[in-house]
Amino acid sequence: MKTLGGEGSFDFSSVRENAVENEEPQRSCGPTKILSFKNKTQRLSKTGVNTCTASRGKGNADCGNCAAPQAMSPQKLTQLLSHAGADMLDALTSAKIFRLLLPSVPSLQPLFHKVVAVAERDELFGDSAIPIGSPLFEALPPAVFFVGFEAAKVYHAAFKLRNKDRISRRVLAVTPDSLHFSVTAMKEEKASTARETFLVPLRAFQGLCSLNIPPVVSLETAIVGKRKEKTMFLTNNGNADSNVTLLVSPPFEVQPGCFPIPIGGSQQGREEMKQLECKVVEGAVTLSMFLLKFGTTFVNLTSERSLCIENNSNEHLPFRWSFGTSEERLEESDEIFETVSSGSFAIKPASGRVWANSTQHIRVQFTPIQATTYNSTATLNIIGREKSLKLQLCGTGTGPQAKFTKAELDFGDVVVYTNKTLDVEIVNTGDIAATYLVKPLVGLFPAGTEINFIPSGGCISINKAERVQISLKPAFVGEFEVVVPWAIESSPEDILLKLKGRAIPPQINCDVPCVDFGIIPFGFEEVRSVALENTSGATQTVNAKVIKRTDDTYCDIKISPEVLAIPAGALGSFNVILCPSKAQTYLEEVAFGLPGLIEDYFTLPLRGSSKTPHVALEPESSLVLEDVFIHTAATKSFTIRNTSRLSAQFTVTLEVRLYNVEKGVTNLSGLNSSTSSGDTKTGRHSRSEFGGEHVSARASPSKGLVPPLSEVSVLIIFYPTAPGDVNFNCLVHIAGLDTPFQLGVNACASGPKLKIEPKELQWGKIKCLEEVIQQVDVTNTSPIPASIRCCIRSKHGYFTAKNPEMTLNGGTSAAILIGAMFREAVVTTGQLTVSAVDGQSFIVYLKGQAVGSPVVLEDFGPCTDFQQVCTSNAKRKTFKVFNRGSRMRHIHFLDGSRSAYSRQTPESQRKFTVEPNEFPLGPDSSMEVVIEALSTFPGRASQVIICQESLGAGTTPVRVARTLATADFFTPNLVATPSSLSFK
């Protein structure tokens, strides 16, 4: 393997245009191009591409002078380069160098033959002999090489183009875009067209590297999977230092892969082979046995056997055990494992190394977990063999050896719902402990059956036994035979225990052979008791029913309770109830059964008959209630007499008719009631009690039983809430009779009754604004309370009732207080109406006369004393005047000192004055009045002041009040003490 030095690529650009004409187009080559190369940098190789363009016409011819290149050894190449001129390389020498370098430089092979573009057809002189698609020129040489250059020297090489056509062509040489190459033509001519492009590579090499790689490297014989190595020395016999890269394909490896090597230097490398696909030699490795069988082993115990790995080769071989079909290739650097296991098999050691020409002992352990046969395959992966070795493993596990001492248990006869217990033993005859457990008994017994195993599971030691108690409580009747499976841990098969027996019904004894009712009254309920004795040892549930024969008799018979639980050894009673719906004979049967077991266990006959009793009422037709007051219960009774020797059942209902109220007529057919019956078309309703807005009534008792040859009193209770006449019918229904007895009930309800005294009240003459009270006595002569209300009607409203409402209990009296207060001096009358709620009303007449005035003076007494008053100084007293009347009044204050009011004292001589002394005063209004005392002379003074009021002009004034005003007037004496003052 040879490697050249590094390359640098350069593109040429056009530096001049050269027109070339070939005088002998068919045989001679075109003008020679002189390519010069100047090396400016040492230890670098230069490359370039010379681009030539030429005009092309029709027809082209190929040049056959270029033959396939032959490989040349580095020694011949070096010898050729030494004979070449240092300054000039002709085209033939360059062509030879190019052909010799092609095998060593693969990148130059695509340049050996270049296919150029096909020229367009132009009208040229003559016809072209070169077919379209073939090149017109042949480059000699195809590539130009400068080998072994030195820095700062110029090298030349000749390059020719041979025109293979018989028509002249124009050629343009383009200088590459590089500072190291230039192109010079022999003749310089201009070209105007460019039809085809020729690429001529230009390459420059400073030196070559040549390695002495042998043609064949033999690693001799290698074991599969085992590394084989060989060392070789490489020497650079070329004329330049180089970096060497060695590449090999798998499974070979070379180290180092890349390294520098100088001229004449050497490098030690290593080449290795791995997993070759060619013919290889397997290591002499085998197993001492390929089938390993284990004897019968108890579960959870371990059995062990051994085998050997025999290595007869000269290599140390790593190995690894695995289970399954794994074919993974083992590596020498894999981890070492102590144990590998799969299921019940384990191998120790799981991995390791077998030394050359030695044996490795392997232990295999078998630990079954169930009583069954085990098979497995172990795989030995070992270096030195292309395929792994297989080891077949097989073993048999056996479980605990346990069994029952009895394979069958017979319970015999077992009464339902009664516990019965039997014993059985489980014996362990094996060499390991036996763990047992009874499996679920799903569907083996009917629902409700209880079966218990004590214990239901456990562990029995070696050569030991366990006693199991089996208790059965059946909930069915009949024979049974079941197989109970018992699971033994780690055993594939169950041990079986067979249980058989017969479940029988309990013995139930009855105290009577027949249910006999005898003769019973029609519609009367009779009860007979049937006692049952449970003789079994468990509680038994018994139900009772009447076997249906006809609807007439079946519906009259009931049994209570329908289902009864009777404890063990105890008694239970059923009540058979017969209520005849008509007079008939009963021949029935009562069936007793066990729910879920036997529908009809045994039956008892039922016998009886029914008849109608003879009954009469007292009184027979009507019932009158007297002195009935509202809100008070009134009672009246009648008697039901039974003259037969059968009990009579009765029901009392009240048939509602019309209720006459004093203020109207109320229909009671729509009143509420607890029970009712009747004809809705006629509007007559029957009920044991009724009630409404104004009245309620009921019968007590409303239903019951009249013993033979006896009587029962029924009380009618009537409670009216409004006065009026009440008429209704009382219907007495006797069971067995189609027509009821009818009794008419009549009553007149009234409210409370009152007595008033006196019928008239006279007040006579009373002063205005003075209230005078008189009374009216009211007596409640009825036994019920009376709510009394009073109302007064008068023109002016001067009469008032002090207690307008009151409640009087029955037989009590109270006084109604009436007050009279007049605001004007008039004569007036009124009426007092006294009424009782839902009762009577009375009128009392009122009459009275008022005298005087309704004007009132406040703080205006009969004497007004000003006491001592200083002369020439006024002293005042204030009072108010009120008009309590209902009309306008005129107030006057007069001097009453003289007997004649017409001669008044002159104002200058008056010592007492009233301000204002005259003014109008409206109804319910007031005015402030001031009395002033003033005199210039000392001494005692007095004056009578009279107040009068009148209704206006032309009316007689009325004196309202009179007062005597007095005062002691005095003049003060002033004395200076001392009489003189001196200031010293």
Q: Is the pLDDT confidence value at 466 over 80?
A: yes
Q: Name the band, by pLDDT with cuts 50, 70 and 90, for residue 316.
A: confident
Of the candidates 285, 114, 103, which has an alpha carbon nearest to the alpha carbon of residue 210? 103
Specify the pLDDT at position 104. 57
Residue that has been written with the tokens 């139930």 in this structure: 508
pLDDT band, very low/low/confident/very high, at 909 (cuts 50, 70, 90): low
Residue tagged 């214990």 (tokens): 455
Region of 867 (left: φ > 0; alpha: ψ -120 to 50; beta: rest) is left
CB 592 within 8 A of CB 573: no
Report whether 911 contacts 864 (CB < 8 A).
no
Q: Using the predicted structure, report yes or no on whether residue 135 has a pLDDT greater than 70.
A: yes
In order, the DSSP letters of 411-435 are EEEEETT--EEEEEEEEE-SSS-EE
Q: Is the peptide bond before 916 cis (omega within 30 degrees of 0)?
A: yes
pLDDT above 90 coverage of the chain, percent: 14
- Report the candidate in 503, 498, 495 with the shortest Cα–Cα distance to residue 446: 503
Rounded to whole angstroms, the Cα distance separating 158 from 151 reads 21
**Residue 767 pLDDT:** 85
Angle 43-44-49 (CA atoms, 0-180°, nearest 5)? 155
What would the two tokens of residue 786 be? 């009376």
Q: What is the pTM of this model?
A: 0.37
Same fold flag, 402-504 and 615-750: yes
Tens digits of per-residue pLDDT, 828-843? Answer: 888 899 988 888 888 9
> Which position has the token pair 């009376």?
786
Q: Which of 193-202, 414-423, 669-678 has the lowest mean pLDDT?
A: 669-678
Residue 656 confidence class, pLDDT cut points 50, 70, 90: low
Q: Which residue has the higher pLDDT, 114 or 492?
A: 492
Burial class (CB in 10 A: 0-12, 13-18, 19+), 762: exposed
Q: pLDDT band at residue 328, thresholds of 50, 70 and 90?
A: low
Instruction: Report pLDDT for 612.
Output: 82
DSSP per-residue string spanning 876-929: EEEEEEEE-SSS-EEEEEEE-SSS-TTSPPPGGG-SEEEESSEEEE-TTEEEEE
Q: ∠ CA 252-257-261 to the nearest 5 degrees?
A: 135
Tell me the three state secondary structure of residue 108. Answer: helix
CATH number, span 402-504: 2.60.40.10
Looking at domain 285-398, what is its CATH homologous superfamily?
Immunoglobulins (2.60.40.10)
> How many helices and strands, by DSSP H and E, does the chain display?
3, 73
Q: Which segment of 179-193, 618-632, 948-962 scores lowest on mean pLDDT?
A: 179-193
At 471, is the pLDDT very low, low, confident or very high (cuts 50, 70, 90)?
very high
CB 876 within 8 A of CB 928: no
pLDDT digits (tens, 9 = 90+) for 856-889: 888 888 898 888 888 888 889 999 999 888 888 8
State in Å, rounded, how far the first CA of the chain is from the last one.
Answer: 166
**Chain segment 361-405, per-residue pLDDT in tens:** 999 999 988 888 889 999 988 887 878 889 999 998 888 888 898
Compute the distance between CA of residue 204 and CA of residue 35 in angstroms, rounded to an integer. 12
Give the tokens for residue 438.
């009874």
The conformation of residue 82, written as its DSSP 8-state character, comes to H
Q: What confidence tier does 255 reach under pLDDT thresholds 50, 70, 90? A: confident
E strand map for 562-597: 563-566, 571-578, 585-594
User: Is CATH 2.60.40.10 the right assignment for the domain spanning 210-281?
Assistant: yes
Strand order in the sheet with 827-836: 760-767, 841-851, 827-836, 786-794, 805-808
Task: Give the mean pLDDT of 713-738.
Answer: 85
List Cα–Cα distances, 5 to 205, 246, 262, in angstroms: 8, 14, 12
More confident: 313 or 67: 313
Which of 286, 318, 287 lies closest to 383, judged by CA?
A: 318
Is residue 346 within 8 Å of residue 297, measured between CB atoms? no
| Per-residue confidence (pLDDT) for residue 499, from 0 to 100 | 92
The CATH code that applies to domain 615-750 is: 2.60.40.10
Task: Check pLDDT > 80 for residue 603.
Answer: yes
Kindly indicate whether the domain formed by 757-851 is annotated with CATH number 2.40.30.10. Answer: no
> Quick one: which H or E segment has residue 304?
strand 303-311
Mind listing the pLDDT tens digit for each residue in 559-597? 999 999 999 999 999 999 998 888 788 889 999 999 988
Q: What H or E segment, with its residue span, contains residue 303?
A: strand 303-311
Please name the amino acid found at residue 281. V
Residue 213 has a pLDDT of 74
Question: Nearest to residue 432, comparing CAs of 478, 399, 385, 409?
Answer: 399
| Average confidence score pLDDT of the chain | 76
- Strand, helix or coil at 250? coil
Sign of CA dihedral 131, 136, 138, 142: negative
- Rounded to 5°, the CA angle 34-37-40 comes to 165
Say yes or no: domain 508-611 is CATH 3.40.50.1820: no
Give the CATH class of 855-970: mainly beta
Q: Which stretch, 81-85, 515-519, 589-593, has highest mean pLDDT?
A: 589-593
Contacts of 412 (CB under 8 A, 6+ apart): 501, 502
Q: What is the pLDDT of residue 564?
A: 92
- Domain segments of the chain: what residues? 32-205, 210-281, 285-398, 402-504, 508-611, 615-750, 757-851, 855-970
Q: What is the mean pLDDT of residues 522-526?
A: 78
Give pLDDT, residue 690.
56
pLDDT, residue 682, reads: 38
More confident residue, 932 or 659: 932
Supply the pLDDT for residue 338: 84
pLDDT tens by residue, 163-198: 887 777 777 777 777 777 777 765 444 444 445 666
